[in-house]
Chains A and B, each alone.
Chain A
Amino acid sequence: MQWFDALVQGILLGGMYAQYALGMALMFGVMRIVNISHGDLVILLSLIGISIATAWGLGPLPVLVVLVPLAVLMGWVLQKAVLNRVVGSDPLPSLIATFGLSIALQNLMLQIWSANSRSLPGHGIESQSLEIGGIYVGLLPLIVLAVATGLTWCLDLTLKRTRFGRALRAASADVEAAAMTGINPRAVYAMATAAAVGILGFAAVFQALRSTVAPADGPAQLIYAFEAVIIGGMGTVWGAFVGSMVLGISQAIGFRIDPGFGVLAGHIVFLAVLASRPQGLFGKALS
């Protein structure tokens, strides 16, 4: 029963990781860019959300409504001001640029919000639970998982069915050929990053609700998102979702074995997947 409980808690934790991983999978799939400040953006949005909630006395839902458009705007500005200048076949400029941004953001947050851990008051929602088959399941983690599933489904459908999704896939397959057919890659990139950071708006609210956030927490979130994407297989949205579940389950079981082993168990599963199936669980084998 204890292990079944760890499995369930792991899947719920995976719901949180999926919200980080989706944006990373989208950006890498489209631009071959990894945004090192990915995790710091989550934390920045969380801290802004917490400040808004305390200043205006808002509940979690209104904060979400304010934060997601703000996140979309942030993503768009990030692409226009920084990433559009460094996107290209050489990975070095984009890595260095977002690495610098990450250091600047972390220390700026430290300056504004201090090193204290904060969380978003959920007005009781964070402590409610349901009993399902002898296991107590938190209401909030269930909502997180449901939202993560919904976001993955929406993103997958957007990529498959809409005009924007087709443009994205075309730009990701071959930028120059896409440009010849009348797609403006920079505009597509800006929308992709806006969508990726917009999803982080959801992640920020849920992260601040279910645990605490502090300015130095960003890199850990970046690493979890990255591991989920690699475990699942690069370039597939559902792969990132399943990768998040695998990571969540590994960590939850690791924590049951030894509290010092939880995060390490996730890393070890990631390295094991890399050693045995480098294309990821859902990726196609490289020719």
Chain B
Amino acid sequence: MSAIPYAATEVPEVLVQRQTPSGRIAMALAVLAMIGVAVMPLWASTGTIRSVLVLCCYIAVAQMWNLLAGYAGLVSVGQHAFMGAAGYALFVLAQTYGVDPFVAVFLSLLVPAALAVPIYLLLHRLDGPYFSIGTWVVAEVFRLTASNLPLVNSGAGMSLRVMKDYSAFERNIAMSLLCAGMLLVTLGGSYWLLRSRFGLALIAMRDNPVAAASQGVNVVRLRFLIYVASAVGCGLVGAIYFMAQLRITPGSAFDPMWANVAIFIVMVGGIGSIEGVLIGSLIFFIADRWFGEYGATYFVVLGLMTLLVALYARTGVWGLISKRWDAPWFPIQRKLVDSYR
């Protein structure tokens, strides 16, 4: 018996193309914008820095929600639970225990990480839409607990008085650097994640969880990891946002407004893409500045727009754009190109 010889097949030489011209331009612009944010005290007034900080918080929270709903299929309406938890952790560490506030910002991230684990183990038992309301209940539990907890001064809230040791200019520098860091971690981190092996698994899971599992993707573990990562990301936003606010109360810390904002931004911008988050954040930020004074009417329009997007244009603005022009800002696809050409 001799082994049947295989015909020598020639493997065609191909290159994997991962970047596109539009991607290179966008990446250069994104790096410039990130540097611009980091050096804000050189060019912007305190008021502008505040506005940019809020915009950065919108982008970061929306991207964290996008990671959950757009890729892991976990629709949470209670991510503000982790923002408030980290915010409170920062205040307790810095104000009560005298930890340096700029160290406490990072230490406080341990709290959402530690809370996210048991919460996910509890909530993942709930089916699809019930999971969402479960996350809302958890946020309510956090709010009511904070209102009853003497450690965080109960319902009266806390002030970050230790910040008075720093001059306004020093605080502006810190806020700008923290903002740039937050964008780097949430947006840059997501982009890096999506381009990695995990990204392939995530995109497969987004398109069809059952098919992804059959291809060897550990959907259960990946969902858990994404939930914890998103909780930590939201915690970072909360810590930075409330550090800038200098004041936290149970009502502001666990404000469902953040869930509304994240859902509006991601749904209108385009779910399952980083570009959509940027577009949605800009739309929301500008609309908030221009129409915020109309109060309730403005929110009626916002709610109806979310409803209409869910009914008629589920891919959002970016979905409509990318259907016409194939020019991704943050390309994540792998394209095989013939190297001889």
Residues of A in contact with B (beta carbons under 8 Å apart) = 28, 32-34, 36, 82, 85-86, 91-97, 99-108, 110-111, 219, 222-223, 226-227, 230, 234, 258, 260-261, 263-264, 267-268, 270-271, 274-275, 278
Inter-chain contacts of B125 with A (CB < 8 A): 274, 278
A86 touches B148 (CB 8 A): no
B98 at the A interface (CB under 8 A)? no
Contacts from B to A (Cβ < 8 Å): 69, 73, 75, 77, 122-123, 125-130, 132-134, 136-138, 140-141, 144-145, 147-148, 256, 260, 263, 267, 271, 296-297, 299-311, 314
- A94-B129, A104-B303, A260-B148 given; A274·B310 CB < 8 A: no
B65 → A minimal CB distance (Å): 11
Residue among B130, B141, B308 with the highest chain A CB neighbour number at 10 A:
B130
Q: Select one of B147, B297, B300, B310 contacting A97, CB under 8 A.
A: B310
Residues of B within 8 A of A92 (CB): 69, 73, 75, 271
CB distance A223 to B137 under 8 Å? yes
Q: Is the interface of B mostly helix, strand, loop or mixed?
A: helix
Chain A nearest CB, measured from B244 CB (Å) = 26
Q: How far is the CB of A252 from chain B (nearest CB, A)?
A: 16
Q: How many A-B residue pairs have CB under 8 A?
A: 134
Q: Which residues of A contact B311 (CB under 8 A)?
A: 82, 85-86, 93, 97
Specify which chain A residues have a CB less than 8 angstroms from the CB of B140 in the assembled complex.
223, 263, 267
Q: Report yes or no: A223 in contact with B136, Cβ–Cβ below 8 A.
A: yes
Task: Give the dominant DSSP class at A's interface.
Answer: helix
Question: Contact at B129–A103, with CB atoms within 8 Å?
Answer: no
Given contacts A93-B314, A226-B133, A234-B127, contact A260 B147 (CB under 8 A): yes
User: Which of B130, B256, B310 meets A93, CB within 8 Å?
Assistant: B310
B145 adjacent to A103 (CB under 8 Å): no
Instruction: List, in ascending order, chain A residues with CB within 8 A of B271's CB.
Output: 92
Identify which of B132, B141, B145, B303 contacts A100 (C-beta below 8 A).
B303
Known: A111-B300, A263-B144. A96 touches B267 (CB 8 A): yes
The answer to whether B128 touches A32, judged by C-beta atoms less than 8 angstroms apart, is yes
Give the complex CA separation of A234 and B308 in angstroms: 29
Specify which chain A residues have a CB less than 8 angstroms from the CB of B314 in the assembled complex.
93
- Identify which of B128, B256, B309 contacts A91 (C-beta below 8 A): B128
- By a CB distance below 8 angstroms, the chain A residues around B304 are 100, 104
Residues of B with C-beta under 8 A to A34: 129-130, 132-133
Q: Which residues of A contact B133 (CB under 8 A)?
A: 34, 36, 222-223, 226
What chain B residues lie within 8 Å of A91 (beta carbons)? 75, 128-129, 132
Contact call B128/A103, Cβ cutoff below 8 A: no
Interface centre among A86, A100, A263 (most CB of B within 10 A): A100
| Interchain nearest-CB distance for A30 vs B (Å) | 13
Q: Which residues of B contact A85 (CB under 8 A)?
A: 311
**Alpha-carbon distance between A216 and B254 when the two chains are bound, in angstroms:** 16
Contact between B144 and A28, CB atoms less than 8 A apart: no
Using Cβ atoms and an 8 Å threshold, which residues of chain A touch B305? 100
User: Which residue, A82, A107, A222, has most C-beta atoms of chain B within 10 A?
Assistant: A107
Query: Which residue of A36, A86, A103 has the most chain B CB atoms within 10 A of its CB atom?
Result: A103
